[in-house]
Amino acid sequence: MRYQPCILCNGDTFFIISSRNRANENIPIVVCKNCSLVQVNPRQDEQYYENYYRKEYQQIQNADKENLLKKSLTHALRRASFLEEEIDLSNKTILDVGCSCGEFLKLVSSYAKRAVGIEPDKTFAEYGRNHYELDIFSGSLKKYINTCGTERFDIVTLFTVIEHVHSPLSFLRHARKVLKENGLLILEFPEIFGLLKSIKDKRKLSSMFSRHHLQYFSKNTINRILKLAGFDLIKVIRPKSKYLLAIAHSKDIKNECDKSRDSLLLLLSMVLSWKIKDAVLAI
């Protein structure tokens, strides 16, 4: 594992808010003192996480495939009905990055102009192609851009993806490359304040930190990273207590420096007030 500067602002000073994750692994979760983004640091390199997802994570997912499919369908229904209310999809092209087996794509493909998926896991991608007759590319977003070239979409969706990505700024800049000018980016992600409020056993802060998640955005920090990547945040809603759904427009990049941040005091006071036995605060 390696220490690295903040993935959002390049800052190099942090508060440690938990020394362990939910799986009781010795993985520090920190808050950047400059921009207040909560992130895993130190962390493994990108290759490690790619291998991890290829092997271990997919084994976990495949072990209970029936339950996974049921859950995916529930999420897909919620997301599709939300999109239908917010956006006229009838003449739109949609790219769903990290589409899993393609349940969301299947639902929107009946009324969108074109629906395409990208899924790193070969088994899931194959399932979507065979069972739902979907156009799903098997691989990463970067590989898709290198392989499939220049097609631009009206809408790019990232449902519970950004928290898993090793370098989210670079990832969002790639997402911008596959989006038309003034296209829409839609992200759903677990949100730090929603997660903090949801903890049942207040002595166990570590219970909210999944071993699969590398960063925990809020409305402010997602706004900041979106601006850096070439997007303007239009709307944020809370579809579930622990999640936020953000809609952003692609825009011209003008090297703007946005200083959106959360109140460090609020964040740390939420942590401190619980007398958490496994949190180490290095103030």
| Tally of CB atoms within 10 A around 184 | 22
Angle formed by the axes of helices 141-148 and 168-177, nearest 10°: 30
Least distance from Zn ion to the Cβ atom of residue 242, Å: 22
Considering the complex, state which of residue 79 and residue 261 has its C-beta at the smaller distance from Zn ion: 261
Q: Report whether 1 contacts 44 (CB < 8 A).
A: yes
Least distance from Zn ion to the Cβ atom of residue 131, Å: 42
**Which among 4-12, 44-52, 69-77, 134-142 is the span making contact with Zn ion, rule CB under 5 A?**
4-12
φ/ψ of 269, rounded to 5, equals -70, -35
Alpha helices (runs of H) in the chain, residue ranges in sequence order: 46-52, 58-63, 65-86, 103-109, 122-132, 141-148, 168-177, 192-198, 219-229, 264-272
Considering the complex, state which of residue 17 and residue 76 has its C-beta at the smaller distance from Zn ion: 17
Report residue 261 as tokens: 């941040």
DSSP 8-class letter at 139: S
Least distance from Zn ion to the Cβ atom of residue 146, Å: 30
Least distance from Zn ion to the Cβ atom of residue 79, Å: 29
Single-letter amino acid, residue 82? F
> Which positions from 238 through 257 interact with Zn ion, judged by CB under 5 A?
none
Question: Which residue among 9, 83, 136, 248 contacts Zn ion (CB under 5 A)?
Answer: 9
SS3 262: coil
Q: Which helix (H) or strand (E) holds 185?
A: strand 179-190
| CA torsion angle 85 86 90 93 (round to 10) | -140
> Which positions from 30 through 49 interact with Zn ion, judged by CB under 5 A?
32, 34-35
**Which among 9-17, 94-102, 159-167, 178-186 is the span making contact with Zn ion, rule CB under 5 A?**
9-17
Least distance from Zn ion to the Cβ atom of residue 258, Å: 12
| Position 6 contacts Zn ion (CB under 5 A) | yes
**Which among 28-36, 67-75, 146-154, 274-282 is the span making contact with Zn ion, rule CB under 5 A?**
28-36
| Position 11 contacts Zn ion (CB under 5 A) | yes
Considering the complex, state which of residue 37 and residue 116 has its C-beta at the smaller distance from Zn ion: 37
Considering the complex, state which of residue 75 and residue 224 has its C-beta at the smaller distance from Zn ion: 224
Chain residues in the site for Zn ion (CB under 5 A): 6, 8-9, 11, 32, 34-35
